[in-house]
Amino acid sequence: MPFSPAGAPYPLLDELESTGGLRALAAAELPELADEVRRFLVNSVSQTGGHLAAGLGVVELTVALHYVFETPADRLIWDVGHQAYPHKILTGRRDRMATLRQKDGLSGFLKRDESPYDAFGAGHSSTSISAALGMAVAAKAAGEQREHIAVIGDGALSAGMAFEALNHAGALDLDLLVILNDNDMSISRPVGAISNYLARVLSSGFYNRVREGGKQVLSGLPGMKDLVHRWEEHMKGMVMPGTLFEELGFNYIGPIDGHDLPLLVSTLRNMKQMQGPRFLHVVTQKGRGYPPAEGDPCVYHGVTPFNPSTGQMKKKSGGRSFTQIFSDWICDAAAADERLIAVTPAMCEGSGLVSFSERFPRRYFDVGIAEQHAVTFAAGMACEGLKPVVAIYSTFLQRAYDQMLHDVALQNLDVTFAVDRAGQVGADGATHAGSFDLSYARCIPNMAILAPSDEGECRRLLHTAYLHEGPALVRYPRGAGVGTDVDSDLPTVPWGRAVVAREGGGVAILVFGTLLATAQSVAERFDATVVNMRFVKPLDEDCVLRMAETHELLVTLEENVVSGGAGSAVNELLHRAGMANRVLNLGLPDAFIEQATQVEQQELAGLSEEQVAARIDDALRAAGAVERAAPQLNSVKTPV
Active site residues: 286, 371, 399
Q: How far apart are CA 575 and CA 191, in angstroms?
A: 49
User: Which residues, other chains included, contact 457 with Cβ-Cβ below 8 Å and sequence gap of 6+?
Assistant: 484, 493, 532, 534
User: Which residues, other chains included, contact 592 with Cβ-Cβ below 8 Å and sequence gap of 6+?
Assistant: 430, 433
Torsion of CA 323, 329, 333, 336, to 10 degrees: 140
Indicate the helix (H) or strand (E) that contains 253: strand 251-257
Q: How far is CA 15 from the centre of its chain?
A: 35
Q: How far apart are CA 25 and CA 12, in angstroms?
A: 9
At residue 295, the 3 state secondary structure works out as helix
Torsion of CA 575, 578, 582, 586, to 10 degrees: -20
Q: Are 159 and 399 in contact, with CB atoms under 8 Å apart? A: no
Q: How far is CA 534 from the centre of its chain?
A: 26
Q: Are 58 and 83 in contact, with CB atoms under 8 Å apart? A: yes
- ∠ CA 537-584-597 to the nearest 5 degrees? 80
Q: Are 284 and 58 in contact, with CB atoms under 8 Å apart? A: yes
321 DSSP β-pair partners: 480
Q: Are 51 and 301 in contact, with CB atoms under 8 Å apart? A: yes
Q: What is the DSSP string of 374-424?
A: HHHHHHHHHHTT-EEEEEEEHHHHGGGHHIIIIIIITTT---EEEEES-B-
Task: Return the closest-CA partner of residue 477 out of 370, 598, 565, 586.
Answer: 598
Q: How far apart are CA 398 and CA 390, in angstroms?
A: 13
List of E strands, 25-175: 50-51, 75-78, 148-153
389 DSSP β-pair partners: 342, 416
303 DSSP β-pair partners: 50
Task: Report the relative pairing of strands 340-344 and 364-366 from DSSP bridges.
Answer: parallel
